[in-house]
């Protein structure tokens, strides 16, 4: 659950210029920002900027809403948290506590999942090392095999007595030119090789993953996989599940506000003088639960996806990453100074870099307005300002936001800019120690006995 910012918080960000993109916030996180700003300033003073704060309490609700949509259609299902979305061990623990498995794409992610006590692990990375394959097989994890070559490697390392659980990764026709998965003829050859491997390879079904965020393409892909399910049964290899990966949407801002922004934006709203060509759907019309419901009700093989899965006795597996950690983190940047650039706009320099808020590195923008949290000692007479946000490195491209954000009061040194909902890839996908600055600290927020929150280092 998330809420729109209350009026006092919303008033701290801009009105003129480009339409606002006010972030949706979890009610508890909003309360901390609104009622205890001095606590956030103290945390940044102690741990540095940027500072990431993880809020694991949101994970259980995200999982529950997904399960509700799946159960409403009486579909057997399995959920695996896509651990690549965030490096936080606390979020993996929260996912495991919510009863879901963990999807891993590296040996390090696998070890984190084991450390968190994950009972179910699925590995979907495309180029698994022999060491990683061995770890997975020995742990009884589910291995999504990406190629015939990877299948041969896995069978070879098993020897005469080893055993592995596998899915064969299918490349849907709509995926176009992609390096992931196998075309139908290669999957059929994979099935034949699995059959020859005998009891050493336990075939459990098919995996697929599509880019983008529409459910209709997944429904089409499931219909394509249905033919492979029948072919597998003909070889004595009954499938028990179809894993469709992730791609469930997250709603960062109200859909109406997002649609209004896209309709009204122009080159004058960006410091580059250019509108980016593509954005994540930050104001998605669908929630993750809506998306699941739409998928299950979509047509498939003369019935619906849900009807097909039930009739075929198949489990549907999902690997939500971003959507499972929706509202599970905020990122705080301390302002260094504001620099006018001579055209009526300015640049706000923050302590940190765009490697910790990474959309501009993909020629896009994080279309969620930051919240300005003023320092206690700031000058009260700061004028309104339109400004982009830049990092403190020597790279000209180190820009957190090219958008010219309109502030009612110009940001000043020691103010904080808070970016909401950064757990899904935003905070640590590209973070590094450029200029030898230390990696941003990551804290975990948890309830204290007095009903407030305590903040400890993520481990």
**Active-site residue list:** 394
Closest CA to 196 of 139, 243, 235: 235
Q: How far apart are CA 319 and CA 102, in angstroms?
A: 8
Kindly provide the b/e burial profile for residues 19-43, where b requires at least 16 CB atoms within 10 angstroms of the residue's own CB: bbbbbbbbebbbebbeeebeebbeb
Which residue, among 198, 202, 192, has the nearest Cα to 235 in the 3D structure? 192
DSSP state of 354: G
Token representation of residue 379: 């000058």
Match 């996908």 to its residue by tokens: 429
Neighbours of 448 (CB within 10 A): 10
Distance separating alpha carbons of residues 235 and 237, to the nearest angstrom: 5
Residue 433 tokens read as 């120690």
Closest CA to 403 of 424, 422, 421, 417: 417
| Contact assessment for residue 378 and residue 414, using Cβ atoms and an 8 Å cutoff | yes
3-state secondary structure of 241: strand
333 near 259, Cβ under 8 Å? no
């Amino acid at each position: 659950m998330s809420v729109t910012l209350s009026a006092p918080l919303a008033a701290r960000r801009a009105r003129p210029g480009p339409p606002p993109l006010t972030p949706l916030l979890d009610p508890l996180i909003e309360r901390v920002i609104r009622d205890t700003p001095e606590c956030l300033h103290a945390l940044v003073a102690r741990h540095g900027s940027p500072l990431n704060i993880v809020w694991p309490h949101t994970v259980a609700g995200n999982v529950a809403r997904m399960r509700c949509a799946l159960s409403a259609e009486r579909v057997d299902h399995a959920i695996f948290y896509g651990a690549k979305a965030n490096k936080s061990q606390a979020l993996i623990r929260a996912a495991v506590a919510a009863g879901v498995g963990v999807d891993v794409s590296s040996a390090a992610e696998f070890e984190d999942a084991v450390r968190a006590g994950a009972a179910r692990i699925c590995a979907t990375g495309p180029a698994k090392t022999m060491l990683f394959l061995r770890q997975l097989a020995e742990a009884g994890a589910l291995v999504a095999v990406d190629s015939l070559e990877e299948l041969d490697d896995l069978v070879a390392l098993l020897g005469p007595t080893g055993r592995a659980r596998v899915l064969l990764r299918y490349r849907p026709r709509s995926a176009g030119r992609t390096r992931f998965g196998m075309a139908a003829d290669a999957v059929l050859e994979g099935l034949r090789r699995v059959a020859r491997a005998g009891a050493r390879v336990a075939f459990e079904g098919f995996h697929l993953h599509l880019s983008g965020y529409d459910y209709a393409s997944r429904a089409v892909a499931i219909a394509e996989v249905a033919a492979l399910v029948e072919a597998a049964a003909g070889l004595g290899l009954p499938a028990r599940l179809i894993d469709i990966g992730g791609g469930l949407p997250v709603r960062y801002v109200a859909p109406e506000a997002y649609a209004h922004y896209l309709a009204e934006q122009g080159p004058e709203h960006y410091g580059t003088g250019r509108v980016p060509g593509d954005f994540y759907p930050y104001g998605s019309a669908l929630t993750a639960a809506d998306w699941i419901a739409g998928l299950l009700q979509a047509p498939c093989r003369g019935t619906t996806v849900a009807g097909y899965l039930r009739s075929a006795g198949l489990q549907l597996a999902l690997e939500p990453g971003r959507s499972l950690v929706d509202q599970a983190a905020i990122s705080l940047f301390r302002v260094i100074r504001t620099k006018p650039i001579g055209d009526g706009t300015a640049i706000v320099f923050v302590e940190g870099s765009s490697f910790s808020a990474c959309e501009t590195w993909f020629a896009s923008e994080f279309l969620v307005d930051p919240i300005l949290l003023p320092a206690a000692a700031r000058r009260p007479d700061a004028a309104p300002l339109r400004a982009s946000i830049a990092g403190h490195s020597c790279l000209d491209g180190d820009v957190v936001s090219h958008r010219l954000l309109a502030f009612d009061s110009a940001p000043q040194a020691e103010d904080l800019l808070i970016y909401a909902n950064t757990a899904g890839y935003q905070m640590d996908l590209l973070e590094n120690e450029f200029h030898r600055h230390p990696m941003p600290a990551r804290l975990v927020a948890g309830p204290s006995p007095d009903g407030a929150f305590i903040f400890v280092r993520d481990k």
